[in-house]
Every structure is written in C-alpha cells, then in structure tokens.
C-alpha cells in the first residue's frame, strides 16, 4: 500500500497562492498550517493578517480570521485574546507593518506580555507597494525609495526586531529563522511550533521572525534571492534564538 | 498597617491592640484613620438596586457602560475625559469578564476594541478631540467590518492641540463619518447627565442592532459636571453569535474584513452600508423641543450649548423680551431634518447656537434653507457663554429682524 508522506495541510484552503514565484509567504503559510494541524488547534485559533502582500492570508488559512489595519495586528490580537483567553491568537506581519507603522503596537503588546504569537516576515523591502525601503532594509540596499542604496545618515539603520523585543520581560520567545533550505524550513517549523506552545502554556509574547525572499522586488531569481539571504541578509540579521524562557518557565497564569 | 476591614461599618471591631501596652489613644487614632479611609474609598454603586447617584459626567458614562454589559474598554489618557478611563480601570475589574487596558495610544485602543468586538464583547473606548482624530482609522474599519462599538468623544477646544476647555468643534468629524470612505456613525449629543447615562446604554443597543460604531459626542463641560442620575435597567443583549469570531470549531471558518479588491463587490458593500444608514435615518431620529408651541424664534442647539440656550430662553420669557423656543437634536446623525423643517410651518426665525464657528449650522441650512431665516451665534475654541450673554444675543438678533 502506498503511504502518504506529503500532502496539503488539512487547514490550508485549496486556493492557488497569489504570491510571486519564489516568495516566502507561501512556505510560511504552509508551515503555520502544518503546525496548527499537528497541534489540532484549528477550531480554537484566530488569525490576524496584516496590510501588505499577506493581507489575503484568509484566502489560504481555513481559520477564523480578521484583518488588521496596517501595523495594528498586535493591538487587535490583544483585544481578541483578552476577550477569549483560551483561544490561540496569532498576528502575521511584515517588516513595514511591524517595525515601522506598527512598532508601537508591537512593542507594547510584547511589553505587556500579551499571550499571543507574532509571525514576522522580514524581507527587507515593502513588497505589496512595489519595493520601497522597509525599516529592515539593510545599508546600501537599493530600493525604489533608496535608489542609491540605503544611507545611514539619510535613512537610518535597519531595525533588528528580535534583538529589540527580546529585551522586554514580557517576551517569552523570540527566534529568527529563514526559509532558504529544507533544513532552515524545518528549523522554522520547529520555531513556529514552539511559539504556539508558549501561548498554550501562557508564557507570554512569542515572536518568530522569518527572513523571507522577495525575488520580485529584489530583482533577483528565486535562487539568487535565497543566496542573498544566506550571504548578506543573515549577516545583518543573524539567525538565532534571542529569547526562550520555556526551559525555566513557570506558568504565569496565576501571576498578577 | 491597619488590619483588613471585614466589617466596614464599624472598623473599631477590626482593630485590636497587638499588645496590652498599646494605648487606647493609638486604637482611637487607628479607628479614626480607618473611618476616614472608608470614606475615601469609592465603592461601586450597587448595580442590583436602582438608585439615584450624584456623579460626574465622565463617571456616569463609565457606570452606564458597565451596567449595559460593556466588558472591554481600552483607552489612553487625555483631558478632559481622564475620569472615564480611570473609572473603567477601577470598576471594570469588578465586572465579571471585564477587561480594562490602558493602551499605548488612541490608535491602539480603537484596534483593541475592534478585536474584542469581533470576539463578541460589548466594547467601548473614549477620548477627547485630538485623540478621536487618531481613532478615525479604526472607526472607519469598524464601520467597514460592521462591528458594534461605542466611542465617546468628550470634546475640547481645537483645532490642533487646542485647549482643554469645552467646545463643539468636532461636529463635522463626528457626523460625516470622520475617517476615510463612505460611512456614517450614529452620533448622540447628550445635554444632561441623565442623558449621558441613558444614551450610553442605548448606544450599545443600537451598535448591536445595526452592527455599527456609535459615538457619544459630549464636551468637557458634560464630562466634568455633576448631576443626579438614575440608571435605567439595561435591556438584554440581542446580538447573534454568527457575527462573532471565536474560532471555527469544526465548522466553516469566518472572515471579518474591510478589504474588498473587486470594485463591483466593494460597490455593493458600500450600497449595503448605505441602505443600513437609510434605515437608521428613518428609525433612530431623536430630538427635544422646548417651548416651541408659541415661539416666535427657535434656537437650534445641542449638548452643552442647548443647556445654555434653555437658560437664555427662560430669561427672555421671564423678561417678556422674545418668545423663544429650543429645538435640540439628540441624534446629530441622523439629523432630525424633517422635524426641524416641520417647525418652519409656523415659525420663520431660527438662530443656531454652537460652541464652534458653525458646523451644525450646515445641517440646519440643509433642513430650513428656503423655509425660514437662519441666524447664527458661535463661540469656538473653548469659550462658553453664559445664558445672559446668549439671551442678549437672541434679543438683539430678534430686534434687528423686526
């Protein structure tokens, strides 16, 4: 008998992704759906897609979902989670969404230790709007609004979200990973699982930052985009676990 | 440290000397301190009994909201509405399932209540003029996503940071939607503390009924003044679980969104909202008339301005100067246009009085232009005239007309 070893996750709808070839969103979506399948939490999970390329995430996830205005995902997720503390709530955000317009909402949701999970897709560029500078655009990187390359005195420096948020006591788990190889994809999936587990154990705010290729706006082939992440982007944004309180965690459910 | 007061009516019972050496004098001091502390502690008025309370406007809105079943409040401090945020901080925790969050910004607050509204809670946020400007992104989104919610604006002087005095400069923003896109919010303009209580409760019911944001548009005067108030019995909530987002269970997943990329679908959504607003405009008009039966001139004013106008009208009648009356819109949107126009059958002189440079004036013109003469008196920027000043203005205006 043939054994099924690979199939569509149960709660990923049978729609064709609108994402560009080589884009990381579709892989990230699939990984999240796989973890939701494995943890069997589809019925009690609510997702918050962002403004940006992933705004249509509800066309793919077979979950209850509510869109957030640009950057407001963590605030909206806070409202959902505080009202329904026994549900899993995740926000899915891009770099502009999380680290530019929504940095206050993200920072303070993390600082309050909101028991939610944020999936942070960092592709160092504004994808949906056509490749403008993102807060995570690295120095010298050319975008449509930094045609001569990002310049530190004119445009400031790339924002390192995991490093920043991991300083906050409310954050239980912060890991940066990528999608450039099967090994990295497996690592990312484990991180996603761990983040949801943090939420299940009520440990506080969890974030998984995923360095994600954007071949279209980087003007590269998908393979070159992965190489660029490995050789350039991950030097600026090191792949690491920046915070993980799970080994020593006490459940903070009874904490004041 | 004082021991915990179990029987708060007689703290002396709870205070016993730790050792015999402790003097009666010390015990007496402790009792006095405990009694003083008890007086200082603001206890939540019992919600099981209908009573008359003397409360400030901001606190009344908070209490009415909790009684109406509001269980999620997010807000950011701004004068002159801070007492409302503080009231919710203090009392929401005593309400079963109540959530209070002091948000990092007004923007975060409006999106927090969006999440909670989607999850099925009765939600409220409050702010004052500059903060309400920040909330517009979320109000537009609440209207688009058809999520019931109550937003309180305790107006202050503007534009810009303005000042913290009572003003009515946000009428346009409140009644024309306020944020981007084709939408309206129901807007109540309360003029008494009793109305603050009643309309706050009604706001939650209407928000649910029409699945739309409802705004309470009061000002710093209403927020700060104290008046006796009786809280009415709240109606049981009628809101289908079908509209709530609580996890799909084994069923079909739901989406709440305002993004509709297809122009024809988006057009249909706009018309759907427009049809809803038509129903609201037909059914939810509220207004008050005061001494209009024999009036030669009718003042049109809302909120605090209407209170001042009432005082002015009383004066004018007492001194036999002008037989003036008052038309007071209670719903600012929908504006009681037809009711106002029907007054013009026998009354030809109207004077709009606002604590602004003339915003409701436009709605009055839309209602009365061609039917009657419309004058205007405005005091923007936080200036609040006395009834005597307004009485003089009305009298002069009326004399000039003659």
Nearest chain B Cα distance for residue A44, angstroms:
4
| Residue A10 domain-assigned (yes or no) | no
In this structure, what are the phi and psi dihedrals at residue B371, rounded to the nearest 5 degrees? -105, -30
DSSP per position, A171-183: EEEEEEEE-SSHH
Torsion angle in degrees (nearest 10) through CA of A34, A37, A43, A49: 0
pLDDT at A164 over 90: yes
Give the CA-trace dihedral at B199, B200, B202, B206, to 10 degrees. Answer: 120
| ipTM score for this prediction | 0.95
Give the closest of B99, B111, B248 to A72, CB-based: B111
Q: Give the tens place of pLDDT for each residue, B165-191.
A: 999 999 999 999 999 999 999 999 999
Backbone torsions φ then ψ of B191, nearest 5 degrees: -125, -5
Q: What is the pLDDT of residues B78-87, one digit of tens each?
A: 999 999 999 9
Residues of chain B in contact with residue A56, where contact means CB-CB under 8 angstroms, are 259
Q: Which of A48, A72, A83 sits opposite B72 (nearest CB)?
A: A83
Return the pLDDT at B394: 97
The pLDDT tens digits of the residues spanning B249-301 come to 999 999 999 999 999 999 999 999 999 999 999 999 999 999 999 999 999 99
pLDDT band at B402 (very low <50, low <70, confident <90, very high): low
Within a domain: residue A2? no
Distance of residue A154 Cα from the nearest chain B Cα, in angstroms: 28
Number of structural domains in chain A? 1
Distance from CA of A36 to the nearest CA of B (A): 13
Beta carbon pairs, A and B, within 8 Å: 128
Q: What is the pLDDT of residue B69?
A: 97
**Number of other residues whose CB lies within 10 A of the CB of residue B5:** 17
Give me the mean pLDDT over the B112-124 stretch.
98
For position B3, what pLDDT does the model report?
37
Are A75 and B123 inside 8 Å of each other by CB?
no
Dihedral over Cα of B62, B331, B177, B159: its sign: negative
CA separation for the pair B100, A212 (Å, rounded): 37
* Residue in A58, A77, A107 closest to B257 by CB: A58
Record the tokens describing residue B140, joined without a space.
Answer: 């537009």
pLDDT tens by residue, B314-346: 999 999 889 999 999 999 999 999 999 999 999
* Protein fold of B52-283: Rossmann fold (3.40.50)
As a whole number of angstroms, the distance between CA B362 and CA B176 comes to 12
Is residue B2 very low, low, confident or very high in pLDDT (cuts 50, 70, 90)?
Answer: very low
pLDDT digits (tens, 9 = 90+) for B242-253: 999 999 999 999
- Give pLDDT, residue B39: 60
**DSSP secondary structure letter of residue A146:** B
> Which of A67, A83, A108 lies closest to B104 in CB terms?
A108
State the average pLDDT over residues B96-119: 98
* DSSP three-state, residue A235: helix
Q: Give the gap in angstroms from C-alpha A178 to the nearest C-alpha of chain B.
A: 29
Residue A64 to residue B250, Cβ atoms within 8 A: no
Contacts with A82 from chain B: Cβ below 8 Å: 72, 99, 101, 112, 116
Contact state of A46 with B246 under an 8 Å Cβ cutoff? yes
Task: Please name the residue that has the structure tokens 């200082």.
Answer: B40
Contact A66 B246 (CB under 8 A): no
> What is the 3-class SS of chain B, one letter each residue?
CCCCCCCCCCHHHHCCCCCCCCCHHHHHHHHHHHHHHHHHCCCCCCCCCCCEEEEEHHHHHHHHHHHCCEEEEEECCCCCCHHHHHHHHHHHHHCCCCEEEECCCHHHHHHHHHHHHHHCCEEEEEECHHHHHHHHHHHHHHHHHCCCEEEEEEEECCCCCCCCCECCCCHHHHHCCCCCCCCCCEEECCCCHHHHHHHHHHHHHHHHHHCCEEEEEEEHHHHHCEEEEECCCCCCCCCCHHHCCCCCCCCCCCEECCCCCCHHHHHHHHHHHHHHHHHHHHHCCCEEEECCCCCCEEEECCHHHHHHHHHHHHHHHHCCCCCEEEEEECEEECCCHHHHHHHCCCCCEEEEEECCCCCHHHHHHHHHECCEEEEEEECCCCCCCCHHHHHHHHHHHHHHHC
Average pLDDT of the residues in A69-88: 98
Q: Which residues of B121-146 are buried (b: 16+ CB within 10 A; e: fewer)?
A: bbbbbbbbbbbbbbbbbbbbbbbbbb
Chain B positions touching A65 (Cβ under 8 A) are 245, 253-257
Question: Does residue A122 lie in a domain region?
Answer: yes
- Is A61 in contact with B111 (Cβ distance < 8 A)? no
Distance from CA of A230 to the nearest CA of B (A): 35
Q: How many residues does chain A have?
A: 256
In whole angstroms, give the CA distance from residue B192 to residue B303: 8
The answer regarding whether domain B289-401 maps to CATH 3.40.50.920 reads: yes
Quote the CA–CA distance of A154 and B196 in Å, as a whole number: 51
Residues of A with CB under 8 A from a CB of B: 42-46, 48, 55-56, 58, 61-69, 72, 75-84, 87-88, 104-105, 107-108, 112
Minimal CA–CA distance to A99: which of A158, A51, A177, A32?
A158
Cα A134 to Cα B361: distance, rounded to the nearest angstrom: 46
Lowest mean pLDDT among A1-5, A69-73, A150-154, A197-201: A1-5
Closest approach of B266 to chain A, Cα-based (Å): 15
Rounded to the nearest angstrom, the minimum Cα separation between B178 and chain A is 16
Rounded CA-CA distance B215/B120 in Å is 19
Instruction: Tell me how close the Cα of B328 comes to any Cα of chain A, in angstroms.
Output: 37
pLDDT number for residue B160: 96
pLDDT value of position B1: 32
Task: Give the whole-angstrom CA distance, residue A172 versus residue B129.
Answer: 37
What is the 3 state secondary structure string of A148-159? CCCCHHHHCCCC
Phi, psi of A243 (to 5 degrees): -155, 140
Alpha-carbon distance of B80 to B223, in angstroms, equals 7
Contact A165, A110 (CB under 8 A): yes
Q: Domain containing A91 — which CATH number?
A: 3.40.50.970
Q: Do B248 and A77 touch (CB under 8 A)?
A: no
Per-residue pLDDT at B32: 78
Asked if A79 and B245 come within 8 Å (Cβ–Cβ), the reply is no
- Could you tell me the strand order of the sheet in which A45-48 lies? A240-244, A171-178, A205-211, A117-122, A88-94, A45-48, A64-66, B255-256
Mean predicted lDDT score pLDDT of chain B: 92
Asked if residue A16 is part of any domain, the answer here is: no
Q: Do B253 and A65 touch (CB under 8 A)?
A: yes
Confidence label for B347 from pLDDT (cuts 50, 70 and 90): very high
Contact A161, A120 (CB under 8 A): yes
Q: In the prediction, which pLDDT does A31 show?
A: 98
Concatenate the DSSP letters of all residues of A102-121 into one string: THHHHHHHHHTT-S-EEEEE
Query: Token match 């915070």: residue?
Result: A243
Rounded-to-integer distance, Cα A175 and Cα A210, Å? 8
Interface test mutation site (partner B, options A44, A64, A81, max chain B beta carbons within 10 A)? A64
Residue B13 in this model has a pLDDT that exceeds 60 = no
What pLDDT is recorded for position B49?
Answer: 57
Give the tens place of pLDDT for each residue, B207-239.
Answer: 999 999 999 999 999 999 999 999 999 999 999
Confidence check: pLDDT of A256 > 80? no
A208 within domain boundaries: yes
A80 contact residues in B (CB cutoff 8 A):
115-116, 118-119, 245
**Cα Rg for chain A, rounded, in angstroms?**
17
Can B52-283 and B289-401 be said to share one CATH topology?
yes
Q: How far apart are CA B349 and CA B333, in angstroms?
A: 23
Residue A245: pLDDT above 90?
Answer: yes
Q: Please check whether residue A138 is in contact with residue A233, taking contact to mean a CB–CB distance below 8 angstroms.
A: yes
Question: What is each CA distance from A214 to A20, A180, A240, B322, B400, in whole angstroms?
Answer: 8, 12, 21, 74, 72
The range of the structural domain enclosing residue A237 comes to 25-246
pLDDT in tens, B26-59: 777 777 777 766 665 555 555 555 579 999 999 9
A79, A104, A112 ranked by CB distance to B116: nearest: A79
The residue among B122, B213, B142 whose CA lies nearest residue B174 is B213
Q: Between B72, B245, B248, which is nearest A66 by CB?
A: B245
Percentage with pLDDT > 90 across chain B: 86
Q: What is the pLDDT of residues A85-123, one digit of tens each?
A: 999 999 999 999 999 999 999 999 999 999 999 999 999
Cβ–Cβ < 8 Å for A242, A163:
yes
The ranges assigned to domains in chain B are 11-40, 52-283, 289-401
Mean pLDDT value across residues B107-133: 98
pLDDT at A1: 73
Chain B interface, best mutation among A75, A77, A118, by max B CB count within 10 A? A75
Q: In chain B, what residues touch A112 (CB-CB under 8 Å)? A: 101
């Amino acid at each position: 008998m043939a054994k099924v070893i690979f199939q569509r996750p149960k709660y990923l709808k049978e729609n064709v992704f609108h994402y560009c070839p080589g884009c990381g969103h579709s892989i990230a979506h699939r990984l999240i759906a796989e973890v939701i399948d494995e943890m069997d939490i589809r019925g009690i999970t609510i997702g918050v897609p962002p403004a940006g390329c992933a705004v249509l995430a509800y066309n793919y996830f077979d979950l209850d979902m509510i869109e957030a205005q640009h950057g407001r995902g963590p605030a909206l997720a806070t409202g959902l989670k505080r009202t329904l503390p026994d549900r899993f709530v995740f926000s899915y955000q891009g770099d502009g969404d999380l680290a530019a317009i929504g940095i206050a909402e993200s920072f303070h949701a993390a600082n309050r230790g909101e028991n939610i999970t944020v999936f942070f897709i960092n592709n160092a560029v504004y994808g949906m709007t056509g490749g403008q500078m993102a807060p995570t655009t690295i120095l010298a990187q050319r975008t449509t609004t930094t045609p001569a390359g990002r310049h530190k005195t004119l445009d400031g420096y790339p924002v390192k979200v995991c490093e920043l948020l991991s300083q906050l006591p409310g954050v239980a788990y912060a890991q940066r990973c990528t999608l450039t190889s099967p090994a990295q994809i497996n690592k990312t999936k484990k991180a996603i699982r761990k983040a949801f587990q943090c939420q299940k154990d009520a440990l506080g705010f969890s974030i998984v930052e995923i360095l994600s290729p954007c071949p279209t706006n980087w003007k590269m082939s998908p393979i070159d985009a992965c190489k660029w992440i490995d050789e350039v982007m991950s030097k600026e944004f090191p792949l690491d676990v920046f915070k993980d309180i799970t080994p020593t965690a006490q459940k903070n459910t009874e904490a004041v | 440290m004082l021991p915990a007061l179990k029987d708060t009516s007689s703290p002396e019972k709870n205070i016993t000397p730790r050792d015999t050496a402790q003097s009666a004098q010390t015990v007496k001091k402790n009792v006095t301190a405990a009694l003083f502390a008890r007086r200082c502690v603001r206890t939540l008025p019992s919600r099981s009994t209908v009573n008359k309370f003397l409360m400030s406007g901001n606190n009344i809105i908070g209490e009415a909201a909790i009684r109406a079943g509001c269980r999620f409040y997010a807000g950011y401090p701004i004068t002159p509405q801070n007492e409302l945020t503080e009231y919710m901080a203090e009392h929401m925790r005593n309400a079963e399932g109540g959530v209070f969050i002091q948000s990092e910004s007004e923007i975060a607050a409006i999106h927090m209540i969006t999440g909670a509204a989607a999850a099925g809670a009765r939600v409220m946020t409050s702010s004052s003029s500059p903060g309400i400007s920040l909330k517009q992104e979320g109000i537009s989104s609440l209207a688009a996503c058809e999520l019931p919610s109550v937003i309180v604006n305790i107006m202050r002087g503007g534009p810009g940071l303005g000042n913290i005095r009572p003003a009515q400069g946000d009428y346009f923003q409140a009644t024309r939607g306020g944020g981007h896109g084709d939408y309206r919010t129901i807007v109540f303009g309360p003029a008494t503390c009793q109305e603050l209580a009643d309309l706050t409760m009604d706001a939650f019911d209407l928000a649910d009924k029409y699945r739309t944001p409802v705004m309470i548009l009061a000002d710093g005067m209403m927020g700060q003044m104290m008046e006796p108030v009786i809280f009415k019995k709240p109606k049981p909530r009628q809101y289908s679980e079908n509209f709530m987002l609580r996890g799909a269970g084994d069923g079909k997943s739901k989406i709440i969104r305002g993004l509709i990329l297809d122009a024809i679908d988006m057009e249909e959504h706009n018309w759907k909202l427009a049809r809803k607003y038509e129903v609201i405009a037909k059914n939810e008009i509220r207004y008050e008339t005061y001494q209009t039966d024999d009036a030669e001139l009718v003042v049109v004013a809302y909120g605090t301005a209407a209170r001042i106008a009432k005082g002015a009208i009383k004066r004018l009648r007492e001194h036999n100067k002008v037989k003036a009356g008052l038309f007071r819109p209670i719903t600012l949107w929908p504006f009681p246009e037809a009711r106002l126009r029907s007054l013009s059958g026998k009354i030809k002189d109207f004077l709009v009085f606002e604590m602004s440079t003339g915003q409701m004036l436009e709605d009055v013109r839309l209602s009365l232009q061609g039917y009657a003469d419309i004058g205007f008196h405005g005091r923007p920027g936080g200036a609040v005239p006395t009834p005597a000043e307004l009485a003089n203005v009305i009298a002069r205006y009326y004399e000039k007309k003659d």
